Structure formats: C-alpha cells, structure tokens
C-alpha cells in the first residue's frame, strides 16, 4: 500500500471479489489494498480482465466485496446515502439513461444528492451547477435536445457533465474517454487538471495509456491484483507498465510528454 504524505481520500483494504455463478465464479479482485490521496489524479490501467472496473465499483460502493473501503477515514457503508452521494461522484461505462430525457434534465440528475427529494424543485444553486457542468464539457448548446439525438461521443460528454454537476470531492470515472475524439480527449485532460487544482480527487480507469500517463499517480493491475502503484513520472512505473503489457508497448518522452508507443 502506498503511503504518501497526504490525507487519504479513499482507502481500500484487502478487497476480494468473486464474480460469476456457481462453479463458473472467478476471483476478480485478489487481496487488493490501495490508498488514494486527496487532491490528486490516479489512473488505473492494465490488460483486459485485470479487475480495473471491478475495483472502481468497489470504491463507489456498487459491488459487494470482502475487505473494506474507507471514505475520508470512515467506512464507506457507514456514510448516509445522501452524504456519500454528495462526497463521491460516479461515471460508469455504458450507463443506461432514457433517450427521451432532455439534456438539461439528465445533468440535473447529478444534483439529486443536494435536494430534499426527487420531486423537489431545483434551486438556483442547482441550475448554476448544471450550467457550469454543461459548459465545462462543451455541451451547453445541446441543453434543450434529447439524449437520443446525440452521438456516442456527445452522449459521453453529457454523462460526464452529470457527474461534474454533483460537485463531489471525489470523482470515479470508468473509461471516461470512450467515444471521444482527440480534441475532446484533450478537453477532458484539461478539465481533470483544473479539477485537481481545485483540490478534487480523480480516480479513472483508462485504456488510453498515453492519456493515463498524464495523471499524478498510476495503479497497474493484472489478474485481479495490483502489481504496481507509483508516480507516473518514475522509471519504475514505466517498467512495470511495459511488463504488464508483455513488453508490447514502450514508454517514451516526446515533446515534453510521456507517451506509450506500440512495439511493432
């Protein structure tokens, strides 16, 4: 478990998860212990089936598990639901949402933890948060359109806006760059940088390794285990990253950035 001189935002201790049914069950997480510190961006990477999304779901309290998760020093499940939802925002893969919903209303769903009930009239603060989130994801112009009118990449930007509208201290994102073209991937990267400067904690599962290398810290997983956690700038992290992908990528510095290049 990494021990850095920062306040833990999330602490996972000996997480074990079995997935599947009957004799087909597999060990998806195997004794995983991690610390995620406040005000930093951690990227989680690894081959397909490594347990990345399973870990993120455990951190969000969405998946039963053995072991424990602590949120700001308190067991995750001891937090009242509304308080936990204000503290911890979630963006998952392929999240279902009605195509008939207006974009403004989709993003307003992110404000539910701040409202007294699901039928409460949104406050001025809710509207300000929704507008800010839509503008930050360059989705403001679509606010009166329905979700079904959008492309996959546009839809992803709206769902990201919904997660941002929560204004949570911690954001968990599973494949947030799915369907985004390179310019909007760059926009996402700039947005994450701004959130971290504001003191937010971001934990993201990414397949785009070159983008993941922009994070402060990287968690590298394989076969349900954490094989490395360290700073993205460290050579030992680069070696662990190359090893987990069977030396089929190479981490190199290019024009002031770290990039992962396929070995052909």
3 state SS for 51-118: CHHHHHHHHHCCCCCEEEEEECCEEHHHCCHHHHHHHEEEECCCCCCCCCCEHHHHHHHHHHHHCCCC
Instruction: Check pLDDT > 50 for residue 19.
Output: yes
Q: Which has the higher per-residue pLDDT, 26 or 117? A: 26
The pLDDT assigned to 144 comes to 96
The pLDDT assigned to 93 comes to 86
C-alpha to C-alpha distance for 193 and 117, rounded to whole angstroms? 33
Instruction: Check pLDDT > 50 for residue 4.
Output: no
The pLDDT assigned to 72 comes to 92
The pLDDT assigned to 7 comes to 67
The pLDDT assigned to 98 comes to 80
10 Å CB burial of residue 131 (0-12, 13-18, 19+) is middle
Whether 198 contacts 118, CB under 8 Å: no
Q: How confident is the model at residue 209 (pLDDT cuts 50, 70, 90)?
A: very high
Residues 46-81: pLDDT tens digits? 999 999 999 999 999 999 999 999 999 999 999 999
C-alpha to C-alpha distance for 62 and 41, rounded to whole angstroms? 21
Instruction: Check pLDDT > 90 for residue 188.
Output: yes
Q: What is the pairing mode between strands 74-75 and 88-91?
A: unpaired
CA-only gyration radius of the chain, Å: 19
Q: Which has the higher per-residue pLDDT, 97 or 128? A: 128
The pLDDT assigned to 6 comes to 58
What average pLDDT does range 247-254 have in this prediction? 96
What average pLDDT does range 3-7 have in this prediction? 51
Strand partners, 18: 27
Place of tokens 């992803």: 156
Instruction: Check pLDDT > 90 for residue 17.
Output: yes
In 3-state terms the chain splits into helix, strand, coil percentages (rounded to 5) of 35, 30, 35
C-alpha to C-alpha distance for 62 and 207, rounded to whole angstroms? 21
What average pLDDT does range 191-199 have in this prediction? 96
Q: How confident is the model at residue 3 (pLDDT cuts 50, 70, 90)?
A: very low
The token pair that represents 215 in the structure block = 């994070």
Instruction: Check pLDDT > 90 for residue 156.
Output: yes
C-alpha to C-alpha distance for 53 and 17, rounded to whole angstroms? 12
Region class of 67: left (phi > 0), else alpha (psi between -120 and 50), else beta: left
C-alpha to C-alpha distance for 110 and 242, rounded to whole angstroms? 38
Strand partners, 218: 43, 230
Strand partners, 89: 171
The pLDDT assigned to 2 comes to 42
Whether 196 contacts 202, CB under 8 Å: yes
Q: What percent of the chain has pLDDT over 90?
A: 87
Q: Which long-range contacts (CB under 8 A, 24 or more apart) does 188-191 make?
A: 188/160, 189/214, 191/136, 191/137
How many other CB atoms sit within 10 Å of the CB of residue 146?
15
SS3 136: helix
């Amino acid at each position: 478990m990494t021990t850095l001189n920062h306040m833990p935002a999330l602490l996972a201790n000996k997480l074990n998860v079995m997935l599947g049914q009957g004799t087909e069950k597999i060990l998806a997480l195997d004794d995983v212990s991690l610390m995620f510190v406040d005000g930093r961006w951690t990227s989680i990477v690894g081959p397909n089936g490594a347990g990345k999304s399973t870990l993120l779901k455990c951190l969000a309290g969405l998946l039963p598990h053995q072991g424990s998760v602590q949120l700001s020093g308190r067991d995750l499940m001891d937090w009242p639901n509304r308080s936990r939802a204000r503290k911890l925002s979630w963006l998952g893969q392929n999240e279902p949402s009605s195509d008939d919903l207006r974009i403004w209303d989709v993003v307003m769903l992110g404000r539910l933890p701040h409202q007294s009930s699901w039928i409460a009239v949104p406050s001025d603060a809710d509207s300000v948060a929704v507008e800010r989130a839509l503008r930050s994801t360059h989705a403001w112009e679509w606010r009166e359109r329905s979700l079904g009118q959008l492309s996959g990449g546009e839809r992803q930007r709206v769902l990201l806006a919904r997660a941002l509208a929560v204004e949570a201290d911690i954001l968990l994102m599973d494949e947030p760059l799915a369907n985004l073209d390179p310019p909007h991937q760059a926009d996402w990267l700039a947005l994450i940088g701004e959130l971290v400067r504001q003191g937010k904690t971001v934990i993201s599962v990414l397949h785009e390794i070159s983008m993941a290398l922009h994070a402060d810290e990287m968690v590298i997983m394989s076969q349900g285990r954490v094989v490395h956690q360290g700073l993205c700038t460290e050579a030992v992290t680069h070696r662990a990253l190359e090893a987990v992908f069977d030396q089929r990528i190479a981490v190199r510095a290019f024009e002031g950035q770290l990039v992962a290049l396929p070995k052909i």
